[in-house]
Amino acid sequence: MQNSVTPTHCPYCALQCGMNLMPAPDGTVEVGERTDFPVNRGALCGKGRTAPAVLSSRVRLTSPLVRSGGTLVPATWDEALDRIAEGLRRTRTEYGPDAVGVFGGGGLTNEKAYTLGKFARVVLGTSQIDYNGRFCMSSAAAAGTKAFGLDRGLPFPLEDIPKTGCVILVGSNLAETMPPSLRFFTELKENGGTLIVVDPRRTRTAEQADLHLAPRPGTDLALALGLLHLVVAEGRVDEEYVERRTVGWEDARAAAMAHWPEYVERITGVSVPQLREAVRMFCEPEAAMVLTARGPEQQSKGTDTVGAWINLCLATGRAGRPLSGYGCLTGQGNGQGGREHGQKADQLPGYRKLDDPVARRHVAEVWGVDPDTLPGPGRSAYELLDALGTDVRALLLMGSNPVVSAPRAGHVEERLRSLDLLVVCDIVLSETAAQADVVLPVTQWAEETGTTTSLEGRVLLRRRAITPPDGVRSDLEVLHELADRLGVEKGFPTDPEEVFEELRRASAGGLADYSGITYRRLAEENGVFWPCPADGELGGAPVADGEPQSAPLADGEPQSAPLADGEPQETPLAHDAGHPGTPRLFLDRFATPDGRARFVAVSHRASAEEPDAEYPVLLTTGRVVAQYQSGAQTRLVEELNAAAPGPFVELHPRLAARLGAAEGDPVAVVSRRGRAVAPARITTAIRPDTVFMPFHWPGEGRANTLTNPALDPTSRMPEFKTCAVRLEAVRS
Ligand SMILES: Nc1nc2c(c(=O)[nH]1)N[C@H]1C(S)=C(S)[C@@H](COP(=O)(O)OP(=O)(O)OC[C@H]3O[C@@H](n4cnc5c(=O)[nH]c(N)nc54)[C@H](O)[C@@H]3O)O[C@H]1N2
Ligand SMILES: Nc1nc2c(c(=O)[nH]1)N[C@H]1C(S)=C(S)[C@@H](COP(=O)(O)OP(=O)(O)OC[C@H]3O[C@@H](n4cnc5c(=O)[nH]c(N)nc54)[C@H](O)[C@@H]3O)O[C@H]1N2
Ligand code: SF4
Ligand SMILES: [Mo]
């Protein structure tokens, strides 16, 4: 234990709630309220509050494991690392560098994501790297980039939400997925603003709405186009704004006009009066926002769907103006930073493109390599998993558990088994690690320092608060050791701040420019919003090793001056005064060459799999409040398991009656990919044509046994949110 109180951030979702860690009498840590972080002001959900339980879990890995005679047995670090290096070298020699794949995660810190991308390109020389963020917000990222020239999930801080006039929340159940953020929407309503929620289920979030629209899964594109049609028909277009700040309106308008309200009602199941009411609520106030999450994004047309919602914002003059805009609620702890610094198949640090010669030259110079040696773009996440055992014969996996979380998971499991070499770095023996040839036990959030970038685009410092157990090493140490064994002795530091200093240089001049950010500033300013270019040369005194990085004040007291109301840009800098960071984007111009936003001309299309006689019901999937993702971490916490012990199938009483299923009865859900069985949870809160399953569990009730890996043509996002299934009663 280093400090008595260490201010840091939660290991889980993109809200990155602030928390204090304090030593507990039994040698572990306790979570304390940290009220100075403006996003959560001390509030935490149950996952954050119980996160320390995973640090001291009995099933935590503390020794490397290697497969021997079919089983995983403990090994020394040298044995394990040697075996990996030898396997990777052999694969490369026999099949070429692209036969080695790398799979990362949006939960990894910026330092890890950056180093993993560099490791793939410089040490392995492979193009075959991608990460689980592809399954997360990639459609919104693609649409945001197209429309605005830049993808930062929220172009404004969350604190703007209560001050706008209306928010349309499309396919987000944030009351369960980011509970402390619900406050911003409650305050919005208290201030006289309105909330519209679009979700096929009446979720805890939808219950807070002034208007709940419950479309059929997979029809958000039609819904957005129908709203835009009405905006035009009712004369609500902001012509002056469209003229001055956008291009492409004529084509987008023509496409939207083909989506008559009655036609949209037929596709979506949302009535024409409800469509009109939504348009009125959205258009009447001075300012309004559209926020999307996984509901509309995890579709084989997710990019076009988000594009259509952005069109709605642009046509009504609600983007790049104070208290107005489109935003995506990014999901994972570092879902934002994890998509900026090079673990994505087509990307170099600073949100640069791998196929851009200028970007290649810049990053190659920082890395001290010849730009021509950098490989080109590789396969997207699902395509990479699908190629395992054929084109890709060895895989290094860090920060994901695809056996539970990938679409068509039975097939992915089979592909993983067919590898010559699977290496997994994890905290626990996840379902994926259990299939590995070598498992490396790594340190966790509270045992290491690093930065994350929250859904607001706010770069944050997570601090080491506790000494890791014997036997584990950090992901950075793993990459350093492997680089060394593969003949690259320099360029893979194990000190996170040293990595961050290099990341600053690599990102300088890119879209996601972190060059003006230092660990010291992060500690003193409670985070800095990118872009934050350096003022002059890149210096910045590093924080002394092991020293407390800011003096914590007495418990309960704010630890730094709260931001001035509405004006976080003006917060004075305590030290190395430089660029203040950018809480709000696009107010003067969009990040396109001409400064104007782009409309997209899109039309509705069917989902990859629509119900038919054999598979007459729609399946959608998502989350519950008490479990996180594949559950590898949260399934270890007693309190969370008590709240959410296992999978279930949520269905309407009418469907249940047809099936003859009572509450709690096992129900089989069958798709073209496989069959899953879980207890029925009967509720009128879901459409009668749809069933819902959470995806947090492996085994018989694994939702991803069923899901369809149909990919969005642009973002390569799989269609997690809709596929066709049939239900069968299970006789015990
Ligand atoms: N408790 C908890 N919190 C989490 C996570 C977790 O696993 N557990 N994960 C984190 C991560 S990585 C992410 S990405 C976020 C995700 O956060 P959310 O996007 O809020 O989570 P989901 O439950 O996947 O999906 C949201 C809603 O989409 C609805 N939906 C399903 N199909 C459709 C559709 O076709 N259209 C529309 N409009 N809605 C639809 C579902 O009914 C669901 O209520 O949560 C983060 N926070
Ligand atoms: N059906 C369905 N499937 C989905 C979704 C859905 O809505 N429906 N959502 C998708 C989305 S949005 C996401 S983000 C994915 C997430 O799904 P996964 O990618 O499986 O995410 P996690 O369960 O968070 O996996 C993280 C793994 O890394 C480990 N880990 C945590 N921190 C570290 C670290 O610092 N280093 C290392 N080496 N390991 C670490 C954890 O123990 C865990 O085993 O699931 C996707 N799958
Ligand atoms: S909302 Fe997200 S960041 Fe906040 S405590 Fe819960 S899991 Fe952690
Ligand atoms: Mo996610």
Residue 537: per-residue pLDDT: 56
Mean per-residue pLDDT for 662-684? 98
* 429 and 283, same domain (yes or no): no
Q: Is the pLDDT of residue 551 over 70?
A: no
Q: Does 372 lie in the same domain as 227?
A: no
Q: Minimal CA–CA distance to 236: which of 217, 219, 253?
A: 253
Q: Quick check: CB of 115 below 6 Å from ligand 2?
A: no
Give the ligand 2 atom nearest the CA of 406: 47
**715 part of a folded domain:** yes
Amino acid at site 299: Q
Q: Could you tell me if 239 and 312 lie in one domain? A: yes
Q: What is the pLDDT of residue 573?
A: 35
pLDDT of residue 536: 63
Q: Is residue 295 part of a domain?
A: yes
pTM comes to 0.94
Q: Which mutation among 20, 45, 330 tests ligand 3's pocket best, with the greatest number of atoms within 8 A of CB?
A: 45
Lowest mean pLDDT among 52-61, 471-480, 563-572: 563-572
Ligand 4 centre to CA of 135 (Å) is 7
**Distance from the CA of 705 to the center of ligand 3, in angstroms?**
28
- Separation of CA 562 and ligand 4 centre (Å): 30
Verify that 125 and 152 share a domain, yes or no.
Answer: no
Relative to beta strand 166-170, strand 288-292 is parallel
Residue 145 lies in a domain: yes
Strand pairing partners for 348? 352
Residue 704 lies in a domain: yes
Q: pLDDT-based confidence at 3, cuts 50/70/90? A: low
Q: Domain holding 355: CATH number?
A: 3.40.50.740
Q: Is 402 exposed, middle or buried (0-12, 13-18, 19+ CB in 10 A)?
A: buried
Is residue 193 lining ligand 2, measured as CB closer than 6 Å? no
pLDDT averaged over every residue in the chain: 94
597 belongs to a structural domain: no
Residue 246: CA atoms inside 13 Å, Cβ hemisphere, count?
29
Number of domains in the chain: 3
Q: Minimal CA–CA distance to 396: which of 81, 632, 44?
A: 81
Q: Distance from the CA of 443 to the center of ligand 3, in angstroms?
A: 20
pLDDT for 1: 45
Residue 538: per-residue pLDDT: 60
Which pLDDT score, from 0 to 100, does residue 16 have? 98
Ligand 4 (single-atom ion) residues, CB below 5 Å: 136, 331
From 333, 350, 368, the end of a domain falls on: 333
Chosen domain end from 333, 366, 395: 333
For residues 556 and 626, what is the distance between their CA atoms, to the nearest angstrom?
26
Are residues 187 and 254 part of one domain? Answer: yes
Per-residue pLDDT reduced to its tens digit, 391-424: 999 999 999 999 999 999 999 999 999 999 999 9
Lowest mean pLDDT among 359-368, 403-412, 536-545, 707-716: 536-545
Are 325 and 454 members of one domain? no
pLDDT at 546 over 70: no
Mean per-residue pLDDT, 495-512: 98
Residue 258 sits in the same domain as residue 399 = no
- For residue 272, give the CATH number of its domain: 3.40.228.10
Q: Whose CA is nearest to atom 4 of ligand 3?
A: 17
CA of 627 to the centre of ligand 4 (A): 13
Closest ligand 2 atom number to CA of residue 105: 19
pLDDT tens, 38-48? 999 999 999 99
Least Cα distance to 92 among 105, 103, 102 occurs for 102
Q: Which ligand is nearest to the CA of 625?
A: 1
Residue 530 banded pLDDT, cuts 50, 70, 90 = very high
In a domain, 573, yes or no: no
Residues 217 and 112 in one domain: no
Mean pLDDT of the region 19-43: 94
pLDDT-derived band at 731 (thresholds 50, 70, 90) equals confident
Counting ligand 3 atoms within 8 A of each CB, the residue from 8, 9, 15 with the most, and so the one to mutate, is 15
Q: Which domain holds residue 392?
A: 79-135+335-494
What are the phi and psi torsion angles at 626 (to 5°)?
-90, -10
How does residue 572 score in pLDDT terms, banded at 50, 70 and 90?
very low
pLDDT in the model for residue 27 = 80
Q: If you average pLDDT over residues 11-23, what whole number do you get? A: 97
For residue 547, tell me if it sits in a domain.
no
> In this predicted structure, what is the pLDDT of residue 25?
84
Q: Domain check: are 396 and 486 in the same one? A: yes
Indicate whether residue 334 lines ligand 2 (CB < 6 A).
no
pLDDT of the residue at 561: 34
User: Which atom of ligand 2 approaches the CA of 430 most closely?
Assistant: 44
* End position of a domain, from candidates 494, 514, 547: 494
> The domain spanning residue 681 has which CATH number?
2.40.40.20
**For residue 310, what are the contacts with CB-CB under 8 A and spacing of at least 6?**
143, 144, 147, 148, 290, 319, 326, 597, 600
Residues lining ligand 3, Cβ inside 6 A? 10, 12-13, 15-17, 40, 44-45, 47-48, 178-180
pLDDT for residue 26 = 82
Residue bearing tokens 């494991």: 65
- pLDDT tens track for 489-503: 999 999 999 999 999
CA of 67 to the centre of ligand 2 (A): 24
| Residue with CA at minimum distance from ligand 1 atom 3 | 177
**Domain match, 204 and 315 both:** yes
Tell me which of 134, 172, 177 to substitute to probe ligand 1's pocket, judged by most ligand atoms within 8 Å of the beta carbon: 177
Does residue 322 sit in the same domain as residue 208? Answer: yes
- 3-state SS, one letter per residue, for 612-669: CCCCCEEEEEECCCCCCCCCCCHHHCHHHHHHCCCCCEEECHHHHHHHCCCCCCEEEE
Residue 54 lies in a domain: no
pLDDT band at 338 (very low <50, low <70, confident <90, very high): very high
Q: Are residues 181 and 321 in the same domain?
A: yes
Residue 296 pLDDT more than 70? yes
